Chains A and B, each alone.
Chain A
Amino acid sequence: MSTWAGVADIASDVQAGKASATELVKKSLTLIKEKSEFQAIIGTTEARALARASEIDSQVQSGKNPGRLAGVPFIAKDNFLTFGSETTAASNILKGFEAPYQATVIKRLEKEGAICVAKANLDAFAHGSSTENSDYFTTKNPHDKTKVPGGSSGGSAAAIALELAPFALGTDTGGSIRLPASFCGIVGYKPTYGLVSRSGIVAMASSCDAPGPLAASVSDAALVLDVIAGRDELDSTSIDRQGQYTELTGGLKGKTIGVIEMDEHISGDVRQVIDASIEKLAKAGAVVKPIKLPVNDYALATYYIIQTAEVSSNLSRYDGQRYPYSYPDAKDLDEVYKKSRSIGFGAEAKRRIILGTFVLSSGYYEAYYQKAQLVRSKIINDYEKVFNEVDFVAGPTAATTAFPIGEVQDPLQMYLTDVLTVGANLAGLPAISLPAGKNDAGLPVGLQLLAPQRKDRELLALASAAEEVLA
């Protein structure tokens, strides 16, 4: 028996006066305290959350409907701007930052009655695949405390696996929702690029950043997406929604699923679980077809040029002036910049800034950045070709299960963790990681499903049917 009912059921109980938002918020806050040893949470928004809960309870008492997510507590990755707590992106340079406005995603959730109760840990500025790059602490995997939860949305994924709240928010620039969802055995959804507004989210690589939900089930993730999706005048790259994302019909039967070839880079235990899952989908009526996705060979290299270029540009705003940390003893402006950034940024942020500055610098721009932009076009074309033959693409989310804390020390080895997820970001595709089973050691394996751009509803419907078959 799980701690929380489905998101829609919780909300309808609150709307009907059968559950109180205050009790739900208190329950979530208590669980956060009880499970603090996993270090999933940076801080709570307790006072504001309780005040909002009491407001929602009185709305219900006076006969008003507080919305589709009435009284549902949630946890936001700490790179979403929220009221009621600091927003730090798990970085020292943003420590003490109190957001002057909230992210569009947070505003849309609050408008439907949801209540943010806490901020989750991440790799600082979302740079990483394990939360070990957090400037504060490493989150532990709920299935095995000696393992990482994945990243960068590792705190959000661990929070859902620990059942601290019914749903959480993450951001996915190269796999940062899907990878931790896979390592923690939960559902992580990366929408089509632009479907969910980036306004009020600490920018990483703007042409790839996609906010999305992490939840215990596909239907919970779909309901959250339905609330947050759609054009936002504060994000000019946002796109119009396509119908209702909660209509999870027409899922699996007769759909053609292209399964990527799993070579020796995928570990044996992962291959075994994924093979068994695909067999179950085929038995349930999916048409399964092996495919080759050549893009996976060079997607990661392309991603680490484009992403670091955009990171170096986005992090230039941290100038020691406009955000809390400023080196106090500087003698001139240039020293304010240099000292504040050098003290405030961690090793990974510096590495990406230097690499990004290099690929954008005169003399190397054509060979690196422009070449990567051209290969990005090839990647998009390759996906288009594949989607002419199949409706969806399936494969593992990650090549391994969760790895031990402290094991991956080499930056390139850590980057390679994202090799199966970055393609969707470069092409702007919707993608989901679903729990597919566990290996012999009890560690979860995620099944990744991808669809063409703007086919979010179809992908969620497929995932919902697959979830039933895999359960």
Chain B
Amino acid sequence: MAKLTKNDVLKLAKLAKLELTDEEVERLVSELGEILGYVEQLDKVDVTGLEATTQVSGLSSVTRPDEVKDYGYKPADLLKQVSAVEGNQIKVKRMLA
């Protein structure tokens, strides 16, 4: 299994849209190293013949009719929390610098 470097953490931060200070990066390298060291014990577990568990509810293919229902809230209620709105839409900063 892997040991994370400073560059790995910076790459992961970029993927996760986070900016980390030098101090945060240093700390994460050591903390994540310790955590990954701990989870390495899974290497020893024999999983031959097992299938991956993705959910535990025992349900499969839950569907519902594709129809509009009134749950008592309107788009305006949802948009109230948004930082910038124009008309009925979320306004964002420009995407290309």
How many angstroms between the C-alpha atoms of A455 and B38 in the bound complex?
Answer: 33
Quick one: which of A194, A321, A370, A428 contacts B82, CB cutoff 8 A? A321
Contact A378 B50 (CB under 8 A): yes
Quick one: which of B32, B41, B59 contacts A301, CB cutoff 8 A? B41
CB distance from A159 to the nearest CB of B (A): 27
Contact B18 A353 (CB under 8 A): yes
Contact A101 B20 (CB under 8 A): no
Contact A373 B82 (CB under 8 A): no
Chain B CB within 8 A of A469 CB: no
- Known A-B contacts A207-B54, A333-B94; the reply to A372 vs B31 at CB < 8 A is no
How many angstroms between the C-alpha atoms of A190 and B28 in the bound complex?
Answer: 32
Contact B42 A453 (CB under 8 A): no
- Known A-B contacts A304-B35, A336-B92, A375-B45; the reply to A100 vs B78 at CB < 8 A is yes
Contact A377 B31 (CB under 8 A): no
Contacts of A410 in B (CB 8 A): 31, 34
How many angstroms between the C-alpha atoms of A16 and B87 in the bound complex?
Answer: 51
Stretch from A23-31, A249-257, A277-285, A361-369 contacting the other chain:
A361-369
Chain A CB within 8 A of B97 CB: yes
Contact A326 B83 (CB under 8 A): yes
Contact A411 B16 (CB under 8 A): no
Contact B54 A326 (CB under 8 A): no
Contacts of B64 in A (CB 8 A): 233, 236
Q: How large is the interface on A (under 10, 10 to 19, 20 to 34, 35 or more residues)?
A: 35 or more
Chain B CB within 8 A of A137 CB: no
Contact B39 A358 (CB under 8 A): no
Chain A CB within 8 A of B47 CB: yes
Contacts of B83 in A (CB 8 A): 320-321, 324-326
Contacts of B80 in A (CB 8 A): 98, 100
Main secondary structure of the interface of B (DSSP, over half): loop
CB distance from B37 to the nearest CB of A (A): 9
Chain A CB within 8 A of B57 CB: yes
Q: What 1/0 mask marks residues of chain B from 68 to 97 whose CB sits below 8 Å from any chain A CB?
A: 000111000110111110000010111111
Q: How large is the interface on B (under 10, 10 to 19, 20 to 34, 35 or more residues)?
A: 35 or more
- Known A-B contacts A350-B20, A354-B16, A428-B57; the reply to A335 vs B93 at CB < 8 A is yes
Chain A CB within 8 A of B55 CB: yes
Contact B47 A375 (CB under 8 A): yes
A47-77 CB contacts (< 8 Å) to partner B: none
Contacts of A323 in B (CB 8 A): 81-82
Contacts of A300 in B (CB 8 A): 38
CB distance from A99 to the nearest CB of B (A): 9
Chain B CB within 8 A of A374 CB: yes
- Known A-B contacts A301-B42, A323-B81; the reply to A101 vs B71 at CB < 8 A is yes
Chain B CB within 8 A of A355 CB: yes
Quick one: which of B31, B50, B62 contacts A411, CB cutoff 8 A? B31
Q: What 1/0 mask marks residues of chain A from 392 to 429 whose CB sits below 8 Å from any chain B CB?
A: 00000000000000000011100100000000001110
Which residue on chain B has the smallest CB distance to residue A239? B57
A304-350 CB contacts (< 8 Å) to partner B: 304-305, 312, 316, 319-326, 330-339, 341-342, 345, 347, 350
Chain A CB within 8 A of B66 CB: no
Contact A305 B39 (CB under 8 A): yes
How many angstroms between the C-alpha atoms of A374 and B41 in the bound complex?
Answer: 14
Contacts of B55 in A (CB 8 A): 207, 237
CB distance from A147 to the nearest CB of B (A): 24
B1-32 CB contacts (< 8 Å) to partner A: 1-2, 4, 8-9, 12-13, 15-20, 24, 28, 31-32
Contact A101 B93 (CB under 8 A): no
CB distance from B66 to the nearest CB of A (A): 13
Quick one: which of B43, B50, B90 contacts A321, CB cutoff 8 A? B90
- Known A-B contacts A298-B42, A370-B52, A377-B50; the reply to A351 vs B32 at CB < 8 A is yes
Which residue on chain B has the smallest CB distance to residue A240? B59
In the complex, besides A100-B78, A321-B82, A428-B57, 9 extra interface pairs with C-beta distance below 8 angstroms are A302-B42, A305-B39, A305-B42, A335-B93, A336-B92, A347-B24, A350-B20, A354-B18, A374-B52
Residues of chain A at the chain B interface (Cβ within 8 Å): 97-98, 100-101, 193-194, 207, 233-234, 236-239, 297-298, 300-302, 304-305, 312, 316, 319-326, 330-339, 341-342, 345, 347, 350-351, 353-355, 357-358, 361, 364, 367-368, 370-378, 380-381, 410-412, 415, 426-428, 453
